[in-house]
Amino acid sequence: MSVSVIDGKAFSARLQDLVGREVAKVKADHGLHPGLAVVLVGSDPASEVYVRSKRRRSVEAGLASFAHELSEDTSEAELLELIARLNEDRSVHGILVQLPLPDHIDADKVLDAIDPDKDVDGFHVLNVGRLSTGKPSLVACTPLGCMMLLQDLLGDLKGKSAIVIGRSNIVGKPMAQLLLAQDCTVTIAHRFSRDVPKLCRQADIVVVAVGRAGLVRGDWVKPGAIVIDVGINRITDADGNSRLVGDVAYDEASQHAAAITPVPGGVGPMTIACLLANTLTAACRQSGLPDPELTLNSK
Ligand code: GUN
């Protein structure tokens, strides 16, 4: 069976272009300029890279970008004060506080202080609850990106058997909810699940987000399954070279899957494109406009 490699980089570029066109439209037709505030506390090198990328791509899509860089010793109260100001600021439609936060700050308290309607990360308990009860919500960007790739590939997911390996609040749990909302039969596997290879072999759709290089082996994958690899792990190979790999043993799984996301270049680029999409959606809702049409159909 020849595997189809899912090009998340190309798909995310098309989604970003679409967001850009819709942003230009709401600006021209309604004088609405969607704005995203990105808050970084401290100087974690990986976070700095992510935040720079989020700001650059916001500007490329025509969003207003508001940068807030706070020192490592910023108190929880000072951060909560900034969030309260951003909640009130009508030019800010989306607020993202980059994680992880320094240890002295309670991340849950901070995330739940963000106005749920501006919570473009989809991490607020209200958005989590809305997603799980089938109400309109802002959905976490990585699982949203995975779902867009799956729907583009498969169209209707009704009745498909899906396994989500990993149960994080950021990826695994919202991913399972999104699949359930599309009428899939969903299994969530985690470190205490018994015989995960057997569970995995029953799935038409496999989504893996655990942070363990090469966990999912080729013989875990049912012939013809779709494999979405959310993991990003840095490893040093036998030649001493450092490189990024996913949670799936890619070469092996490619022998069995009908389609698979590579790492890098699969799910990763979709996350920021979905952040831009969420910011536009949030801005439209706050202005009483209908949700923008952000479906890409490659077929
Ligand atoms: N840190 C790593 N990924 C993310 C993300 O998607 N959102 C936020 N806020 N922080 C992160």
Q: Nearest residue CA, atom 1 of ligand 1?
A: 99
Q: What is the mean pLDDT of residues 90-108?
A: 98
Query: Does residue 14 register a pLDDT over 70?
Result: yes
pLDDT score of 257 more than 90: yes
Tell me which CATH code domain 141-260 carries: 3.40.50.720
Taking only the tens place, the pLDDT of each residue in 130-143 is 999 999 999 999 99
Architecture of domain 28-120: 3-Layer(aba) Sandwich (3.40)
Q: Is 279's C-beta closer than 6 angstroms to any atom of ligand 1?
A: no
Mean pLDDT within 165-191:
98
Atom of ligand 1 nearest to the CA of 141: 6
- To the nearest whole percent, how much of the chain has pLDDT over 90? 97
Q: What is the 3-state secondary structure (H, E, C) of the chain?
A: CCCEECCHHHHHHHHHHHHHHHHHHHHHHHCCCCEEEEEEECCCHHHHHHHHHHHHHHHHCCCEEEEEEECCCCCHHHHHHHHHHHHHCCCCCEEEECCCCCCCCCHHHHHCCCCHHHCCCCCCHHHHHHHHCCCCCCCCHHHHHHHHHHHHHHCCCCCCEEEEECCCCCCHHHHHHHHHHCCCEEEEECCCCCCHHHHHHCCCEEEECCCCCCCECHHHCCCCCEEEECCCEEEECCCCCEEEECCECHHHHHCCCCEECCCCCCCHHHHHHHHHHHHHHHHHHHCCCCCCCCCCCCC
Instruction: Decide whether any atom of ligand 1 lies within 6 Å of the 171 Cβ.
Output: no
Domain extent listing, the chain: 28-120, 141-260
Domains 28-120 and 141-260 equal at CATH topology level: yes
Confidence band of 176 (pLDDT split at 50, 70, 90): very high
* Residue pLDDT, tens place only, 64-97: 999 999 999 999 999 999 999 999 999 999 999 9
**Is any ligand 1 atom within 6 A of the Cβ of residue 96?**
yes
Active site includes 121? yes
Of 16, 118, 119, 121, the active-site residue reads: 121
Residue 297: pLDDT band with limits 50, 70, 90: confident
| Per-residue pLDDT tens digits for 27-51 | 999 999 999 999 999 999 999 999 9
The model's pLDDT over 211-251, given as tens digits with 9 standing for 90+, comes to: 999 999 999 999 999 999 999 999 998 899 999 999 999 99
Kindly tell me if the per-residue pLDDT of 1 is higher than 80: no
Nearest residue (CA) to ligand 1, atom 2: 99
Prediction pTM value:
0.96
Specify the pLDDT at position 296.
Answer: 84
